[in-house]
Amino acid sequence: QVQLVESGGGLVQAGGSLRLSCVASGCTFRSCVMGWFRQAPGKEREFVAAISWGGGDTAYADSVKGRFTISRDNAQNTVYLRMNSLKPEDTAVYYCAADRSGINSVYRRGVDYDYWGQGTQVTVSS
């Protein structure tokens, strides 16, 4: 059973930065496409970023492009989301997701991911 555990969320002022981490267990991490999604109160879950097996291919939502950076450390079974220039509209619960399909593609749809973490709250104050 794959388990994903996020950490690093918190309260930050607008313009500040946070780095989220997601540690995976129970899977061959280097063969999992990893993604970050978020869900704000009253809104649907939305794609944030994704990264391929080796980290050579990444994808970002337009709303975070240039501000957020996804990376991974396969030796540590960890995927990161560095968030800079945070805005109040970035406030949400952030979820880590893993795909074990064996296809090395940076998926943007939540349905393409097999496993999800419990989420970590990010709150950006104005």
115 SS3 class: strand
Condensed to tens digits (0 to 9), the pLDDT of residues 18-68 reads 999 999 988 788 889 999 999 999 999 999 999 999 999 999 999 999 999
Structure tokens at 91: 């406030």
| Cβ 8 vs Cβ 121: under 8 Å | no
Instruction: State the residue for tokens 């979820």.
Output: 95
Per-residue pLDDT, 103: 87
Q: Cα–Cα distance between 27 and 8 in angstroms, integer?
A: 22
Region of 101 please: left (phi>0), alpha (psi -120 to 50) or beta.
alpha
